[in-house]
């Protein structure tokens, strides 16, 4: 889930066109394409990946060769010379390039694997395996990284020896040996190391006189050694002595010391800012002899100019110095050409500035390209993707510069994506009008799915971009190749702000996938009746925690530094001690697995131990192991209570290094049903309805603050009234008291107590005392301001006048309750089923409900709630934070077992549906029972949610499929604004229900009835009955 919509976040922006076209492949997999057609498309994309990696591999080999030639070493062998620090940094830069290549391959590998997983639903394993064989890792042994690590180990040892030498100068120099073939006076190296310019000058006069033919090459080498040592006095003295940049073709000391100087400035520790680097480089330029200035046009072994390195480092001042010197020379006409001159990797200084987000450098180079002499080559073919790269990198200022100068606005990717698609994908509403003003087709469709920029923005949920596109003339009525409108995509994915921004109607019908492509697989493992199931997610499910690293081996990397281990070479295995169940995944785990937990079965959940092991695939070694005693973690508050925080950070340890990292998991234990009553033998089914049924919300509707005749919600009288007025089903809310009595009550916080008291902190008697205080039996002649649990002597004589009148005077106990509630959190000015505000009816237990309500009335038993203006019954973690309550509740198994026990004992043959907003409740309930249908409630992101599994119709449908649930109950917005989503869900065999404020509107209810919503939960039962019957009559008339 979310893999495709988040794929752009995992790409290197400059390489976008070299990635697998996931959208195209997914469109083929979802459509009626044949396997050969899909296979050919995958092979085509694989060839693109192979070609890119082959080219990139040559770049790495080129850097290897240049480093070895520069220092006269072999990577992978021992290095025992000076300048170890410079070699170390160069090796780390190459290692970083290898890491980028590995990451690039992993993203493409995961994309193809997900496509093949979709194909596996339709085709045999053998057929799919034949396609998969074409996509192989090109660097199986990762030998390059292993060679780098060998050399880094030697370098680190040499650096430690140097540190232990107490300032003694090195005895050898690789650069000097390159120049003098291993023979050079040792005193020169000592003077360089100690930055003694005067003695160095004397030694040079002695060993390399002015008349010597090798003096200039020697000086060039000495300049670079002085630069590496940071010997500024020697460097200045040597630079003054240089007279010519000419070097013999076979010389081992190429005149690239300006490149090396800039590179050294960029590697300073602590890092230099641009101003300091500019000052240093400016002084160096002033020391150069005029004959040396043509070095600004010379290239090093990588084909790079000094301008390349200045742009790479982000030193805009250094770039300005170079440009200033060249503008004042006879070579000024070449300046613009140099700004666009590629190195051996086909990258220009401007490319580096844009890719790394250096705005000042990019502005400077673009300014040079605008000069009259460069205008003829303003936008060469290789530069057209610069704007796309800047936008994909979210470099707004650079993008504005390029747009203003017209660079890259005509970009069209190989999937026919335009710049506007990238703008929409990244959510950069600020750029929409500027790009459209330059003539980019606002309604252009990409090739894979037929998405316009508006569709892309709607899928991503970027409502500001959607508004900007619509204001600029984008057409919302354009359908993609599946027939979906942009509004349909937004409604399906829970982007309600986008839905509101698009004023046109959504589709009345959307084509569902065929049955064979649904992938409805109940992921719960087969098990014995006595087995528990441990459900484990990798990482956190709490969206409010932001980006959390699921597997962190930073401590390990610090301990082995400078050796490199890349995240893409890691593997995580998860197993349960005592059985052969084992799950293995490659890291980093790119897929979002919120609807696919790993499931382990055990007959001893209290002592269950989950073992987590992280290993390095490169050398087949284990990095660290952690053990999570899940049963003990969950039992921290005792056997009958639990924390709502289900994320655990498990430390990883190794024999050699100790603590090496951590793995974050989220775990829930689902135990088998354990109650006093056995379950019924017959399971109930939930068939799709031929016409919409109506469900009375909390009976005859929830109580509101408005002055109207209201029966207290969640009461027997309210349920019976709803049935009489036309409700087919009654919906109710169940939760547990402190002494585990299931009661019918909606709000999680019982504000009538005068404090923010959750239901699980009150006993049954304390809870019922609130109801008793409002019945006629508590009225007395002399009103006293007292609460129902007040233990003072109660009056003996009671009055019984106007007992059921809504307009009766506010009695003392009710007045006291109202007065105390004013101090509670978010008190709305009223309370459901409170006397004087509504017709108060006694609170009831679940058992009393079953006994008092006729068996022919079906029930929708909600096991938790989360609506914007109310509170939850069984809270999720983010809700507890919302309501400033303690992060604990009744243990989830105890909660469900208690309710199921009463249901099994008293329900009889009554039709029952269980619903819940909590994915954990749904999962655990699915383990405990298969008697009654379960619907997953989802608020469609109308209210901020902290659980990524509860954000949209898309997530609800997938969770229902994964756990074999019968359907979904949605806040009605997606069904009303995109009625086709109803058919989409029903077409996949899911029962659909809706609730929410739109269900108080007759037109919205009529839309849903026509769309085929199976169950519509409403407050105004009688009125909505008329609308539904009217819609049914019209439908019959049309027939």
443-492: per-residue pLDDT in tens? Answer: 999 998 999 999 999 999 999 999 999 999 999 999 999 999 999 999 99
Confidence band, pLDDT 50/70/90 cuts, at residue 1025: very high
Predicted local confidence at residue 22, as pLDDT: 93
pLDDT band for position 174 (50/70/90)?
low
pTM tops 0.75: yes
How does residue 419 score in pLDDT terms, banded at 50, 70 and 90?
very high
Kindly give the pairing relationship between strand 570-576 and strand 609-616: antiparallel
Give the pLDDT confidence of 422-431 residue by residue, as tens digits.
999 999 999 9
Sketch the domain layout of the chain as residue ranges.
3-71+87-138, 171-254, 256-378, 389-507, 532-670, 693-748+844-1038
Go through the chain and tell me how many residues it has. 1039
| Contact partners, residue 938, CB within 8 Å, separation at least 6 | 917, 950, 951, 952, 953, 955, 956, 968, 969, 970, 971
**Dihedral through CA 716, CA 719, CA 720, CA 723, nearest 10?**
-170
pLDDT mean over 311-324: 95
Q: Which range (317-331, 598-612, 648-662) has the least confidence?
A: 317-331
Q: Which two tokens stand for residue 140?
A: 């199986």
- Where are the strands (E) in 74-174, listed by range? none
What are the angstrom distances between the C-alpha of 737 and each of 146, 712, 879?
A: 61, 20, 19
What DSSP character marks residue 72?
T
**Residue 1017 Ramachandran class (φ > 0 left, ψ -120 to 50 alpha, else beta):** beta
Question: Minimum mean pLDDT among 84-93, 609-618, 626-635: which range?
Answer: 84-93
User: What residues are paired with 551 via a beta bridge?
Assistant: 663
Contact 930, 683 (CB under 8 A): yes
CA atoms within 13 A on the CB side of 244: 9
824: number of Cβ within 10 Å: 17
pLDDT for res 36: 82
What gap in Å lies between CA 158 and CA 421, rounded to an integer?
Answer: 52
Q: Is the pLDDT confidence value at 139 over 60?
A: no
Q: Positive or negative CA dihedral for 1019, 1022, 1028, 1031?
A: negative
- How does residue 808 score in pLDDT terms, banded at 50, 70 and 90? very low
Q: Minimal CA–CA distance to 969: which of 849, 863, 856?
A: 863
CATH class, range 532-670: mainly beta
Average pLDDT over residues 631-654: 85
| CA 303/CA 297 separation, integer angstroms | 11
Q: What is the pLDDT of residue 872?
A: 37
Residue written as tokens 């990397």?
A: 557
> Which one is predicted more confidently, 655 or 754?
655
HEC letters along 134-159? CCCCCCCCCHHHHHHHHHHHHHHHHH
Determine the CATH number of domain 693-748+844-1038: 3.20.20.190
Rounded to a whole number of angstroms, the distance between the first and last alpha carbons of the chain is: 40
pLDDT at 999: 96
Interacting residues of 567 by C-beta distance below 8 A, sequence separation 6+: 99, 103, 587, 588
Contacts of 1020 (CB under 8 A, 6+ apart): 701, 1000
How far apart, in whole angstroms, are the C-alpha atoms of residue 465 and residue 426? 9
Task: Report strand pairing: 551-552 vs 658-670.
Answer: antiparallel
Per DSSP (E only), the strands in 187-307 are none
* Domain 256-378 matches domain 693-748+844-1038 at the CATH topology level: no
- Give the pLDDT band (50/70/90) at residue 244: low
- Is there a contact between 565 and 616 (Cβ–Cβ < 8 Å)? yes
What is the 3-class SS of 831-896, one letter each residue? CCCCECCEECCCCEEHHHHHHHCCCCCCEEEECCCCCCCCCCCCCCHHHHHHCCCCCEEECHHHHH
Tell which residue, 178, 936, 462, 1011, has the closest CA to residue 454: 462
Least confident window among 376-380, 602-606, 669-673, 987-991: 376-380
Confidence of residue 14 (pLDDT cuts 50, 70, 90): very high
Mean pLDDT over all residues of the chain?
84
pLDDT of residue 284: 87
Q: Encode burial over 11-20: b for 16+ CB neighbours within 10 A, e otherwise.
A: bbbbbbbbbb
The answer to whether 836 and 814 are in contact (CB under 8 A) is yes
- The confidence band for 141, taking pLDDT boundaries of 50, 70 and 90, is very low
Greater pLDDT, 520 or 483:
483
The dihedral region occupied by 482, where left means phi > 0, alpha psi between -120 and 50, and beta the remainder, is alpha
For the ranges 22-36, 48-62, 493-507, the lowest mean pLDDT is seen at 22-36
Residue 1035 has pLDDT above 50, yes or no: yes
For the cut 60, the answer to whether the pLDDT of residue 878 exceeds it is no
CATH architecture group of domain 256-378:
Alpha Horseshoe (1.25)
Q: For the chain, what is the largest distance between any 2 Cα atoms, rounded to a whole number of angstroms? A: 127
Would residue 754 be called left, alpha or beta, if left means φ above 0 and alpha means ψ between -120 and 50 degrees? left
**637 vs 718, which has greater pLDDT?**
718
Confidence (pLDDT) at 153: 82
Structure confidence by residue, pLDDT tens digits, 726-745: 999 999 999 999 999 999 99
Q: Tell me, which fold does domain 389-507 have in CATH? A: 1.25.40
Average pLDDT of span 810-820 = 67
In this structure, what are the phi and psi dihedrals at residue 331, rounded to the nearest 5 degrees?
Answer: -95, 20
């Amino acid at each position: 889930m979310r893999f495709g919509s988040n794929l752009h976040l995992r790409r290197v922006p400059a390489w976008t066109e070299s990635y697998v076209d996931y959208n195209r492949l997914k469109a083929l997999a979802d459509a009626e394409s044949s396997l050969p057609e899909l296979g050919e498309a995958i092979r085509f994309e694989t060839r693109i990946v192979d070609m890119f990696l082959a080219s990139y591999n040559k770049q790495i080999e080129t850097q290897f060769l240049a480093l070895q030639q520069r220092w006269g070493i072999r990577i992978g062998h021992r290095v025992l010379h000076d300048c170890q620090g410079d070699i170390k940094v160069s090796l780390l830069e190459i290692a970083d390039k290898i890491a980028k290549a590995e990451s690039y391959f992993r993203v493409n590998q995961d994309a193809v694997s997900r496509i093949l997983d979709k194909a596996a639903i339709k085709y045999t394993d053998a057929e799919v395996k034949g396609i998969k064989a074409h996509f192989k890792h090109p660097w199986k042994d990762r030998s390059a990284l292993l060679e780098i690590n060998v050399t880094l180990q030697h370098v680190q040892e040499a650096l430690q020896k140097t540190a232990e030498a107490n300032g003694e100068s090195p005895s050898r120099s690789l650069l000097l040996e390159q120049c003098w073939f291993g023979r050079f006076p040792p005193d020169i190296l000592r003077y360089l190391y100690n930055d003694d310019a005067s003695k160095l000058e004397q030694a040079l006069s002695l060993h390399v006189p002015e008349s010597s033919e090798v003096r200039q090459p020697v000086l060039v080498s000495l300049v670079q050694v002085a630069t590496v040592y940071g010997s500024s006095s020697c460097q200045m003295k040597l630079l003054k002595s240089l007279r010519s940049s000419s070097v013999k073709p076979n010389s081992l000391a190429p005149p690239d010391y300006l490149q090396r100087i800039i590179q050294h400035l960029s590697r300073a520790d602590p890092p230099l800012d641009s101003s300091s680097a500019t000052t240093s480089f400016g002084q160096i330029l002033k020391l150069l002899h005029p004959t040396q200035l043509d070095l600004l046009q010379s290239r090093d072994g990588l084909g790079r100019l000094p301008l390349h390195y200045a742009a790479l480092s982000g030193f805009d001042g250094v770039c300005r110095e170079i440009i200033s010197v060249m503008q004042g020379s006879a070579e000024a006409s070449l300046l613009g050409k140099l700004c666009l001159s590629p190195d051996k990797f086909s990258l220009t200084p401007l490319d580096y500035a844009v890719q790394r987000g250096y705005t000042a450098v990019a502005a400077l180079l673009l300014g040079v390209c605008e000069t009259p002499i460069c205008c003829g080559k303003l936008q060469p073919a290789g530069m057209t993707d610069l704007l796309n790269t800047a936008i994909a990198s979210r470099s707004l200022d650079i993008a504005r510069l390029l747009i203003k100068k017209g660079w890259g606005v005509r970009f069209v990717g190989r999937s026919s994506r335009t710049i506007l698609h990238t703008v929409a994908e990244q959510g950069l509403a600020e750029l929409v009008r500027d790009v459209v003003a330059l003539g980019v087709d606002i309604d252009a469709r990409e090739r894979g799915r037929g998405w316009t920029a508006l569709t892309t923005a709607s899928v991503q949920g970027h409502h500001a971009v959607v508004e900007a596109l619509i204001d600029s003339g984008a057409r919302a009525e354009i359908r993609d190749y599946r027939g979906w409108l942009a509004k349909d995509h937004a409604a399906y994915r829970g982007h309600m702000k986008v839905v509101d921004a698009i004023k046109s109607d959504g589709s009345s019908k959307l084509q569902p996938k065929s049955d064979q492509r649904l992938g409805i697989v109940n992921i719960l493992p087969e098990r014995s009746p006595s087995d528990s199931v441990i459900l484990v997610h990798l990482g956190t499910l709490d969206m409010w925690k932001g980006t959390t690293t699921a597997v962190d081996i930073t401590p390990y990397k610090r301990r082995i530094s400078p050796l490199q281990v890349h995240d893409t070479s890691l593997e995580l295995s998860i197993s349960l001690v005592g059985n052969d169940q084992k799950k293995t995944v490659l890291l980093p785990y790119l897929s979002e697995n919120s609807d696919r937990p790993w499931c382990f079965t055990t007959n001893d959940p209290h002592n269950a131990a989950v073992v987590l092991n992280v290993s390095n695939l490169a050398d087949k070694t284990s990095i660290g192991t952690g053990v999570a005693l899940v049963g003990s973690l969950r039992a921290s508050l005792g056997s009958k209570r639990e924390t709502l925080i289900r994320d655990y950070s498990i430390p990883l340890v190794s024999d050699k290094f100790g603590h090496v990292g951590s793995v974050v998991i989220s775990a829930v234990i689902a135990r088998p049903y354990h109650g006093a009553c056995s379950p019924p033998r017959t399971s109930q089914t939930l068939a799709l309805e031929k016409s919409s049924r109506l469900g009375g919300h909390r009976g005859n509707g929830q109580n509101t603050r408005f002055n109207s005749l209201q029966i207290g919600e969640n009461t027997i009288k309210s349920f019976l009234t709803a049935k009489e007025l036309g409700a087919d089903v009654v919906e109710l809310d169940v939760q547990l008291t402190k002494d585990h009595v299931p009661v019918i009550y909606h709000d999680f916080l019982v504000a009538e107590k005068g404090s923010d008291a959750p239901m699980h902190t009150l006993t049954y008697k304390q809870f019922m005392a609130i109801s008793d205080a409002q019945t006629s039996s508590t009225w007395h002649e002399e009103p006293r301001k007292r609460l129902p649990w007040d233990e003072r002597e109660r009056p003996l004589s009671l009055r019984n006048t106007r007992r059921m009148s809504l307009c009766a005077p506010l009695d003392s106990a009710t007045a006291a309750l109202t007065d105390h509630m004013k101090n509670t959190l978010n008190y709305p000015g009223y309370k459901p089923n409170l006397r004087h505000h509504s017709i108060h009816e006694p609170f009831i237990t679940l058992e009393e409900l079953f006994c008092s309500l006729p068996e022919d009335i079906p029930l929708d038993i909600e096991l938790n709630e989360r609506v914007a203006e109310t509170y939850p019954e069984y809270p999720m973690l983010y809700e507890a934070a919302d309501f400033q309550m303690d992060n604990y509740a009744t243990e989830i198994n105890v909660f469900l077992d208690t309710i199921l026990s009463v249901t099994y004992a008293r329900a009889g043959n009554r039709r029952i549906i269980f619903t819940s907003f909590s994915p954990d409740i749904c999962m655990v309930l699915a383990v405990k029972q298969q008697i009654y249908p379960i619907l997953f409630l989802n608020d469609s992101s109308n209210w901020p949610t902290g659980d990524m599994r509860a954000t949209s119709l898309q997530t609800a449908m997938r969770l229902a499929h994964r756990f074999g649930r019968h359907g979904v109950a949605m806040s009605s917005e997606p069904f009303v604004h995109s009625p086709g989503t109803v058919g989409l869900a029903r077409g996949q065999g899911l029962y659909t229900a809706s609730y929410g404020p739109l269900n108080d509107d007759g037109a919205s209810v009529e839309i849903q009835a026509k769309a085929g919503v199976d169950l519509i939960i409403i407050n105004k039962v009688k009125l909505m009955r008329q609308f539904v019957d009217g819609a049914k009559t019209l439908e019959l008339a049309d027939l």
